[in-house]
Amino acid sequence: MKFFALIVLIAGVVANKRFDKHQVLTLYPTTPEHLSFIQDLENDNNIVDFWSPDDATSVKINEKVDVRFSSAVLGNIKMKLQEQKMDYEVKIANLQQLIDEQLDLKQMRASKNGSYDYNVYHTYDEIQQWIADTANQYPNLARKSFFATSTEGRNVDMLTIGKSTDKPIFLIDCGVHAREWISPAFCQCFINRMLSQYGVDPQVTRMMDEMTWMIIPLLNVDGYEYTWANDRMWRKTRSKYDTFCTGVDANRNFDINWSGEGASTEPCSNTYCGPSVESEPVVKALSDIIRKYKGNIQGYIAFHSYSQVFVYPYSYAYEDTENAAQLNDVSSRAASAIQQTTSKIYTFGPGYESMYLVSGGSKDWAYQMGVPLSYTIELRDTGKYGFLLPESQIDGTCQEMFQAMIVLAEEAITNT
């Protein structure tokens, strides 16, 4: 698509990106020609951004596709879609408007009188301070520890919570993809509820007494900081490997079918797998934790957005795990718990079926390392807001997902 070339060069040098009149279109490919057209779009990554699935190679005939287009090419794209006789609908009409409206609890933010507000999005510095404050506030239940140093030199910290540090482990990470802000927001409210309700809520108390929870509230700290300061739609890390483009998709960087289907070896792709396995410091640190505690980690969850899906292995191949029936049953019960809480519908299934193929992903690798309950959980929503879920939906997300976590924790406890 050569008509994008000049715009790509211009877009690459603009800081503090705005997305005025960018649109997210839902495309409905029904023919091989439609599929080829969509896959050709990925060559223009700076102005064509795949949202769901997250790369063109995962697009399938008769399955809808969410793609963000720059206003500069939108007219041409719509004309070509008509020429291709491919149906589409406008899912988000003006992306910048959603970005401007995402922090929609400004009045509440201003009225908290300095206390930490779990219903708004926080910056990297605020989250770091919160981690330290939380460990100080609950010295008998929460322990802060250094996890990794990012490529750009930022600290990545972990909170280990529970009555004891020698119980079976449930490992959680949030924010591996920078633009998925609801993920670290959930991690924070989950930790807060576990700590504040210990000794009050019997379910929380059991979860804290019977499990050791190792939680990284914000994994991709460099990318996350970049979404606040420069480019709200940034996804990857901020690593540089002597290439024109920056960043690696950390969820394509683990040692399971690395660089295989569902991952890209092109540095400018949003699903770039990196120059080597575990090239990213946060991926190496997470892998080291799983290796260190191999045999004692009963559950692992990587929280993402969006789509409202419980995704279990495998994603790298059309293959089921030995405990697929268990993972399906747990997912079904967790989804039911959510529906009973907020009426939201979460689907579930192995990654190859419920989402799309992903090589080098964390949940597949964790399962291969002996973690029986291994999940990626895609939080709200199903595309109305996509990665720009308003602050007013943080609380509902936290409420529903906490009920799911009760189900997952109980499964881990009873099967230890």
CATH number of 17-101: 3.30.70.340
Task: Please tell me the predicted confidence (pLDDT) of residue 416.
Answer: 79
Task: Encode the chain (416 residues) as per-residue pLDDT tens digits.
Answer: 333 333 333 333 333 889 999 999 999 999 999 999 998 887 665 578 999 999 998 999 999 999 999 999 999 999 999 999 999 999 999 999 999 999 988 655 554 567 899 999 999 999 999 999 999 999 999 999 999 999 999 999 999 999 999 999 999 999 999 999 999 999 999 999 999 999 999 999 999 999 999 999 999 999 999 999 999 999 999 999 988 899 999 999 999 999 999 999 999 999 999 999 999 999 999 999 999 999 999 999 999 999 999 999 999 999 999 999 999 999 999 999 999 999 999 999 999 999 999 999 999 999 999 999 999 999 999 999 999 999 999 999 999 999 999 999 999 999 97
Residue 63 annotated in active site: no
Q: Which fold has domain 124-414?
A: Aminopeptidase (3.40.630)
Give me the catalytic one of 42, 278, 378, 391.
Answer: 378
* Cα–Cα dist 65/81, whole Å: 13
Residue 397: predicted pLDDT: 98
Residue 353 corresponds to which tokens in the numbers above?
């079926």
383-400 tens-digit pLDDT: 999 999 999 999 999 999
In angstroms, the CA 170 to CA 190 distance is: 13
Q: What residue spans in the chain does CATH classification 3.40.630.10 cover?
A: 124-414
CA–CA separation, 132 and 143 (whole Å): 9
The pLDDT of residue 252 is 98
pLDDT, mean over the chain: 93
Residue type, position 214, single letter: M
Report the interhelical angle of 394-414 vs 182-196 (nearest 10°): 60
Residue 114's pLDDT is: 72
Report pLDDT for 16.
82
* Cis upstream peptide for 375 (omega within 30°): no
State residue 12's pLDDT score. 37
If phi > 0 it is left, if psi is from -120 to 50 it is alpha, else beta; for residue 343 that is: left
Q: Looking at the chain, which residues constitute the CATH 3.30.70.340 domain(s)? A: 17-101
pTM of the predicted model, to two decimals? 0.94
Strand order in the sheet with 48-52: 48-52, 65-69, 23-28, 87-92
Distance of CA 132 to the CA centre of its chain: 24
Residue 231: count other Cβ atoms within 10 Å of its Cβ. Answer: 18
Contact 353, 321 (CB under 8 A): no
